[in-house]
Amino acid sequence: MSDITSPIGQPDAAASLRAARTTLLLTAPIGPTLLRLAAPNVLAMFVQSAQSIAEAYYASVLGVTALAGLALVFPLVMLTQMLSAGAIGGSVSAAIARALGARKPDRAASLALVAGLIAIGFALVTAVLMALCGRAIFGVLGGGPETISAAASYAAVFFPGCVAIWLFNTALSVIRGTGDMQTPSMLLLVVAAASIPLSGGFALGWGGLPALGMAGLPLGLVVAYGTGALGAIAYIATGRTGLTFAGAARRIDTSMIRDILQVGTMAAINTVLTVLTTVIMVGLVGQFGEAALAGYGLGARLEFLMIPVIFGIGAALTAMVGANIGAGNRDRALQIAWTGALAAAVVVGSVGALLALMPDLWLGIFLEPSNDAALAVGRSYFRIVAPFYCFFGLGLAMYFASQGAGRMVWPVTGSLSRIFVAVLGAVLLTSFTPLGVRGVFASIGGAMLVYGLVIGIAIYRTRWRRRGE
């Protein structure tokens, strides 16, 4: 069954294809269907990961101070991406999938409009908070004056322009909620690929563009994602998803806002806790100097890059689980969740195992052999933390599946456990042992183990049952 929607001007055909995709989510064999839906997402996520790698490389060309500044701002940039595409975006996909699984296409169309309004609201709040508190946050994380200035230069462009990222990711989430994974993946692939030369051009002055340094890196992102947002919104508005928007605005009610934000708020808390864990670790590593911060920043960047890869599988999980929960097929939804979660654990765990053995495959992209101190920190990070990536992959995939089920208590509990173990372990190991920065890394690895086990065991035992079931 193709994911490609019908041409403009054929709304009945588009609606029929959308209904066929929903039936596929409810009845087709789980493994092959999940693979077919996830494959284009994973490909697009790898291209987006390449964009992040390119950005780190451009920063390394600007110098170690720029690389350290990027390490300060990167967790907050990823928070924006994770909220817009994963937490809120995943809740949008899940809400639309549940509506379509329950055979309520009119509600799904109204939910799409509500999603756009929520995205704009989150973008405005983010921009205002960073304008008021950005430098203070970077200072708390332990960067020196030059490092803080580099991070602030990046933030001054990215966060006012983050409405482009929010609208683009939300529009893709609406399309995914209809069961179409190919179109969002192609749009994301094109946008991420376009952002690579744009960011390099604006940062380093390629092709006659102004050499804006750190400020140029996010400008390329904003331009690419803004253009992509216009295209994705037009795709939805012209009916190519099979959703009809005549009268959709009049049908909006508060239950639709709750449908997205009730799950989205819990998912956002989970995302904030994930990023907060890294932010606190950045602060703890920062006390060991700029070289340590740069080395850890590269390790943490790859850790964050695992999130888009898992999202490639997770987006398919959210839609498939959501449709089956909406149709009352909880047993099938759980089978889908475990299939996807184990696949994510294998993929991410394989990357972790490789880099635990050969960390310079990654570090050598950004650091010269003369950067001895930063290389030593990066190698320690991968040798200690990377073997635990598989548990991170398992827990995060179950997070996306839980979005589809509308049950977010255990993912949030897992994230709370993770941050507790990471912070307490890092403080104890750096205060009472001679491990130094390696103590921080040991606590990060242990926290990943706890995160995956808490979520996996809880869902295995509770089966997403509500109270009284």
Q: DSSP assignment of 36-98, as one string?
A: HHHHHHHHHHHHHHHHHHHHHHHHHHH-HHHHHHHHHHHHHHHHHHIIIIIIHHHHHHHHHHH
Q: What is the pLDDT of residue 4?
A: 37
Q: What is the pLDDT of residue 157?
A: 96
Comparing CA positions, the residue from 363, 389, 396, 359 lying closest to residue 53 is 363
Q: Give the pLDDT of residue 430.
A: 87
Q: Which residue has the higher pLDDT, 42 or 2?
A: 42
pLDDT tens-digit series, residues 342-396? 999 999 999 999 999 999 898 888 877 877 888 888 899 899 999 999 999 999 9
The encoded tokens of residue 229 equal 């947002």
Buried-exposed string 300-329: b where 16+ CB fall within 10 A, e elsewhere: bbbbbbbbbbbbbbbbbbbbbbbbbbbbeb
13, containing H or E segment: helix 11-27
pLDDT of residue 215: 95
In sequence order, which residues have a C-beta less than 8 Å from that of residue 178 and are 6 or more positions away?
18, 21, 22, 96, 97, 100, 108, 241, 242, 243
In sequence order, the 6+-apart residues with CB closer than 8 A to the CB of 363 are 295, 298, 375, 378, 379, 382
What is d(CA 288, CA 271) in angstroms, rounded to the nearest whole number? 27
Mean pLDDT value across residues 44-56? 83
Average pLDDT over residues 409-426: 91
What percentage of residues in the chain have a pLDDT greater than 70? 96
Q: What is the 3-state secondary structure (H, E, C) of 56-67?
A: HHHHHHHCHHHH
User: In angstroms, what CA-CA distances link 355 with 30, 293, 362, 436?
Assistant: 31, 19, 7, 22
What's this model's pTM, rounded to 2 decimal places? Answer: 0.75
Which positions ≥6 away from 254 have C-beta within 8 Å?
A: none
For the chain, give me the number of helices (H) and strands (E)? 17, 0
Q: How far apart are CA 84 and CA 45, in angstroms?
A: 15
Among 364, 390, 27, residue whose Cα is nearest residue 179 = 27
User: What's the token pair of residue 156?
Assistant: 């001054």
* Lowest-confidence pick of 31-45, 163-177, 180-194: 31-45
Burial of 376 (0-12, 13-18, 19+ CB in 10 A): middle
**C-alpha span between 231 and 377 (Å, rounded):** 43
Mean pLDDT (the chain, rounded)? 87
Helix axes 290-326, 64-81, angle to 10 degrees: 20
- The average pLDDT across 437-445 equals 90
Query: What per-residue confidence (pLDDT) applies to 326?
Result: 84
pLDDT digits (tens, 9 = 90+) for 64-94: 888 888 888 888 888 898 889 888 988 898 8
User: What distance lies between CA 392 and its chain's CA centroid?
Assistant: 13
Tell which residue, 134, 154, 152, 138, has the closest CA to residue 199: 154
Structural tokens at position 234? 């037009």
Please say whether the beta carbons of 162 and 123 come within 8 A.
yes
Q: Is the confidence at residue 194, as pLDDT, over 90?
A: yes
Backbone dihedral angles phi then psi of residue 134, each to the nearest 5 degrees: -55, -55
- Residue among 1, 43, 117 at smallest CA distance from 311: 43
For residue 467, pLDDT over 60 is answered with no
CA 382/CA 309 separation, integer angstroms: 18
Residues 437/379, Cβ–Cβ less than 8 Å: no
Mean pLDDT computed over 243-253? 92
| pLDDT-based confidence at residue 12 (cuts at 50, 70, 90) | low
Percent of the chain topping pLDDT 90: 43
Mean pLDDT of all residues in 270-274:
80
pLDDT digits (tens, 9 = 90+) for 133-180: 989 888 887 667 888 999 999 999 999 999 999 999 999 999 988 888
How many residues in total does the chain contain?
469
Burial of 24 (0-12, 13-18, 19+ CB in 10 A): middle
Measured between alpha carbons, how far is 106 from 91 in angstroms, rounded to an integer? 18
* Alpha-carbon gap, residue 159 to 138, rounded angstroms: 14
